[in-house]
Structure 1
Amino acid sequence: MSEVSLASGLMEFAPGAIGGFCNVFVGHPMDLIKVRQQSVPMGGGGGASVSRTAVAAALASNTSTSAMFRNIIAQEGMSGLYRGLSSPLIAVTPAFAVNFWSFDVAKNFIIKQQQQNANSNEEVPVQLSIAQISLAGAFSGICLGGVIGPSERIKCLMQVDKQRYSGFFDCARQVYKEGGLASVFRGTGSAILRDVPGNAAYFGAYELFKRQLCVWEERDTPSTRAILLAGGMSGVANWIVAIPFDTIKSRIQTAPAGRYRNYVDVLRQTIQQEGFQALFRGLTPALLRAFPANAACLLGVESARTFFASIR
């Protein structure tokens, strides 16, 4: 591969990687609270690995977002809010690179199909509909969930059981020792089920808000303020759609081996024991995290795209 081809390839992946780093760093504290809320059923009856920790005791007594925030700082210090950060930084940064790259691939495929259907010999600019943008987002969700699933398994375990693991690689080693690759990839299918509709809502909402804000501001391209607002709202849309699937994923990935037979069994037990509303546990911290994290993410992506376009 030539140096030019390599540089061009890196430029295609770099914006998503930069956006992923911004997303994780800004949003991790609220993601930590979300996972802990989701992983221990109401009444304190969690899995064996969770019940050994002080986190489970705090959850059993009070699962509100503000109470958990105070408990984490009191018991673990400010650094406790970034427990498990190494896992998403290691995995989410390249996963977001794949996410945005696969979205662009799907979007360009749809554009080419439209141009071919128009029987035009010239490439003409095509503005995709919001539905088409959402379809491309759904495709990217398959890629994102498949890449990020194993790292989320490790991240979730580190977030709910801070005593057991000394770090990312120690957790990965123990997970692999427990059940091989099957254990490492536990919950990856549910991550894909979460990210397909979640990404459809994410990219669709971002494009919708971005276009509308351009109209309001009377601009051809979105301003920084518009990108931040549209990015924040896209994150909110994502989590409103994805939170039930994310709850199932978190429970599968943090429960002891053998507790659940499959995804349907998680859904059945959760609704039967705790009610339908249990699927939406963690929504408050997810939404509190979604706006600033995804505003930072999309600003990082758009800024990187502009920068790399200027030096190509």
Structure 2
Amino acid sequence: MAAAASAESSPPAPGSLVRTADDKKPKGHRWYLGGIASSMGTLCTHPLDLLKVHLQTQKGQGLTMLGMARNVREHHGLSKLYQGLSASVMRQLTYSTVRFGVYDSGKAYLTDNGTKPLPVYQKLFLSFWGGLAGGLVGNPSDIVNVRMQNDLKLPPNLRYNYRHAFHGYYRLATVEGFAGFGRGLNMNLSRAVMMTTGQLAVYDQAKTMLIGSGLFADNILTHFAASTMAGAAATLLTMPVDVVKTRIMKAVEGEECSAVNMLRQTYQQEGVLAFFKGMTPAFVRLAPQTILTFLFLEQLRLVFPVR
């Protein structure tokens, strides 16, 4: 009896998977950190996002990213490289908060708060549903973001002239009605799924493989390497969808802008390479955005661990 009592009261061996009573209590996952980290990254990379939108919507001009940057500077001033920043931040606070929240909360549930590994197919499953939910919630902010950025290229009579994100929501609702919030939704959902797969699932898997190799530790170098791989994967997966989505969202009222029509029109008028227009600036924008997002996220997780 005494021996049994002693065995029951003795602490678990170091490194064992025996869980204490406190460990077995449900833990609240800080699902919102992904949106905050993404917003922090956007504050640093917004000008690159604006140039990407301008390149994707140009027709026949053939400007490079640097040429587009010079064009914006000469005609509008350097400050306009931050045109639409409020909508870009709101997009991350909606879209990225939800997709990271679904992925991280689902991962915590499926792995019993990290006590067992997550298979690749489950990472893909979570990224699919996270991207779908994030794309749905973030669609209005994405529309306003694209329109505010693209206004610089339009003649004054065709501009939307949204003063900030909330003014854009108001105008979108009053001018186009509830249906206006769903403009380009199909393409945006497709892009969100591809983006979330390329970023979250690839980052998660790359980080796991790097650390599992024994050559890397769970530190900033590993986070940088994994997020660079995630940025490259996300760029490749999302480019065709992103081009079509951007063109649909910037279309003026009355213009035919269904996904099928835009796909056909873009292919017939500009060829298949048009679907990869702006790929270099897209990578130049998305890679830093992805790297900064995950670097910020890993640091935020240290400051605000799960409880």
Q: Is the TM value for this pair above 0.5?
A: yes
Name the counterpart of 2:205. Answer: 208
User: Residues 192-217 of structure 1: CA distance to partner in whole angstroms, max 9, x if unpaired?
Assistant: 11111221222222123212332456
Please tell me whether Structure 1 or Structure 2 has the larger radius of gyration of its CA atoms. Answer: 2
- Correspondence 1:162-177 to 2 at 5 A: 162=152, 164=159, 165-168=161-164, 169-177=166-174
Aligned length: 274
Q: Aligned to 1:293, which of 280, 289, 294?
A: 289
Other-structure match for 2:101: 101
* Partner of residue 145, structure 1: 135
Deviates more, 1:300-309 or 1:164-173: 164-173
* Structure with the larger helix share: 1
**Residue of structure 2 in register with 1:132 after alignment:** 122
In structure 2, give the amino acid aligned to 1:288: V
| Alpha-carbon spacing, 1:124–1:173, altered in 2? closer, same or farther (3 Å) | closer
Long gaps (5+) in structure 1: 1-7, 44-59, 113-122
* TM-score, normalization by structure 1: 0.80
**What secondary structure sits across from 2:252 in the alignment?**
coil
For the residues of structure 2 that align with 1:89 and 1:274, how far apart are their CA atoms? 32
The 4+ residue runs of structure 1 with deviation greater than 6 A are none
User: Does structure 1 retain, via aligned residues, the 8 Å contact 2:39–2:89?
Assistant: yes
Bigger mean CA deviation after superposition, 83-92 or 196-205: 196-205
Report the CA distance shift for 1:262/1:94 in structure 2 as closer, same or farther (over 3 A): closer
| 1:89-126 per-position Cα deviation (integer Å, ceiling 9, x unaligned) | 123124322221100233345447xxxxxxxxxx9932
- Note closer, same or farther for the CA distance 1:81–1:303 as it changes in structure 2 (3 Å cut): same
Residues 263-282 of structure 1 mapped to structure 2, 5 A cutoff: 263-282=259-278
Return closer, same or farther for 1:125/1:171 CA change in 2, 3 Å cut-off.
closer
Please report how far the alpha carbon of residue 130 of structure 1 lies from its aligned counterpart in structure 2 after TM superposition. 2.6
Deviation at 1:142, TM superposition (A): 0.5
TM-score (norm 2): 0.81
Give the secondary structure class of the aligned counterpart of 1:192.
helix
Secondary structure of 2:32's aligned partner = helix
Ranges in structure 2 where 5+ consecutive residues have no aligned partner: 1-26
**Identity rate of aligned residues, in percent?**
29
Conserved? CA contact 1:205–1:237, under 8 Å = yes
What amino acid maps onto 1:20 in structure 2?
Answer: S
SS in 1 for 2:304: helix
CA contact (8 A) 1:224 1:299 kept: yes
Paired with 1:130 and 1:33, the residues of 2 have a C-alpha distance of 34
Give 1:176 deviation, angstroms: 2.6
